[in-house]
Structure 1
Amino acid sequence: MRKVIAAFNTTIDGNCDHTAGIADEELHQHYTSLMNNGGVILYGRTTYQLMEYWRTFLEKPSEEKPMNDFAMAIDKIPKIVFSHTLKHVDWKSAKLASRNLEEDVRELKQQSGKDIFVGSRSLIIQLMNLNLIDELQLCIQPVIAGKGLSLFEDINDRTMFKLKKTKKFTNGAIILYYEPAK
């Protein structure tokens, strides 16, 4: 059975805006490895469209190898996009979801293969409310943003988690690996 893993960046004060964190070489390497070891990543429309930015590095590589490596990894991993407004996606490794989030995720979990990553705030919230998240990988950035989107708005029920491990980065970021407490 595959695990559903919510891997997300947030600031100390819980802001999950992609511009609030510190994207350095070490973090790009971490997320490149994560993508290279995943089976599929789930996106909502907004995050999918933000991630399309990385396609530019395939056409015109950066002088920074970790950014190019991440662009290749994010290009390779299959993507399922949940959207009520998009009619098509043109990224070769992406497809629009054909069913609702709960049905697709329950089916994906039953399949053999590598883990399922969730890369959109809205999907994380929905899957938390459906009790379908098997692991949280929260990368806490050493920044207080002061404003912005909170990662865990609109969660229906209190959920307890157990810390499995941590990973520290030289820039002060830390990843907390949690699983729901049984």
Structure 2
Amino acid sequence: MRKLIMWNVITLDGYFEGETNWDLSFHGLVWGKELEEFSLTQLRSADILVFGAKTYQGMADYWTNAPENEGEVAKFMNELPKLACSTTLGSATWKNTTITKDAISEVSKLKKEGSGDMFVFGSGILSASLMKAGLFDEYRICIAPVFLGKGRKLFLEGIPNQELNLIETKKLSTGGVILSYVPKNQT
């Protein structure tokens, strides 16, 4: 059975995006060789990437035209199968993409069909829906050492109360910290 894993970089005060769409400038505070290798390890274990509509469109725009220095990460991002969860997308131009209008049903089905990992990157609205449905098996969050003060929070009001167990921490030389949690009922 596949695991569904959330992966996000957030600020210490909980923002995963700045005041404008795709304001991810704080990612530069934690990016370095360690986080690149961590990202590659995750991508090597993945067999599906899952996105909400806005994140899908932004990721497709970026990764299909990625700079040469993105190398192996870009290769994985472009080659891995992708699931775009959207009621509005009519077509997908990013290689290996399937669109679903029913994220909960499709993700539930895909979790039962394979053994690799499924990752949700960004996608705050989709993540809230998947959290409400109890579909995440793990949460991996990289904390960037900054207070942003405003922007878009990752964890929205209305997500269910869920106790978590910390299963791993990784301190980065950049000052960031990666925290990995699983729901308490899964340990």
TM > 0.5: yes
Deviates more, 1:17-26 or 1:147-156: 17-26
Matched, 1:29 2:37: yes
1:91 aligned partner: 94
Gaps of 5+ in 1: none
- In the aligned structure 2, how far is the partner of 1:156 from the partner of 1:48? 22
Selected match of 1:180 from 176, 180, 183: 183
- In the aligned structure 2, how far is the partner of 1:177 from the partner of 1:165? 5
Selected match of 2:25 from 16, 19, 29: 19
RMSD: 1.5
Residues 26-65 of structure 1 aligned to structure 2 (within 5 Å): 26=33, 27-52=35-60, 53-57=62-66, 61-62=67-68, 64=69
Detail structure 1 runs of 4+ shifted over 3 Å in the superposition.
none
- What letter is aligned with 1:36? R
2:106 aligned partner: 104
2:77 aligned partner: 74
- Does the 8 Å CA contact 1:54/1:71 hold for their aligned counterparts? yes
Q: Deviations over 1:5-59 (max 9, x none)?
A: 11111110000013332262322332122112101011011111111202112xx
- Does the 8 Å CA contact 1:162/1:179 hold for their aligned counterparts? yes
- Does the 8 Å CA contact 2:2/2:112 hold for their aligned counterparts? yes
- In the aligned structure 1, how far is the partner of 2:87 from the partner of 2:107? 17
Cα deviation for residue 181 of structure 1 reads: 0.8
Query: As a proportion of its length, which structure holds more strand?
Result: 2
- In the aligned structure 1, how far is the partner of 2:108 from the partner of 2:88? 23
- In the aligned structure 1, how far is the partner of 2:97 from the partner of 2:32? 26
- What letter is aligned with 2:82? K
Q: 1:156 to 1:121 in 2, by over 3 A?
A: closer
Q: Deviations over 1:36-88 (max 9, x none)?
A: 2101011011111111202112xxx43x3xx2221111111111001122110
Normalization by structure 1: what TM-score?
A: 0.90
- Does the 8 Å CA contact 2:11/2:146 hold for their aligned counterparts? yes
- In the aligned structure 1, how far is the partner of 2:90 from the partner of 2:58? 17
SS, match of residue 152 in structure 1: coil
- What letter is aligned with 2:26? A
- What letter is aligned with 1:132? L
Selected match of 1:154 from 153, 157, 174: 157
- Does the 8 Å CA contact 2:128/2:159 hold for their aligned counterparts? no
Paired residues, number: 175
Gaps of 5+ in 2: 18-23
- In the aligned structure 2, how far is the partner of 1:12 from the partner of 1:133? 22
- Does the 8 Å CA contact 1:36/1:77 hold for their aligned counterparts? no
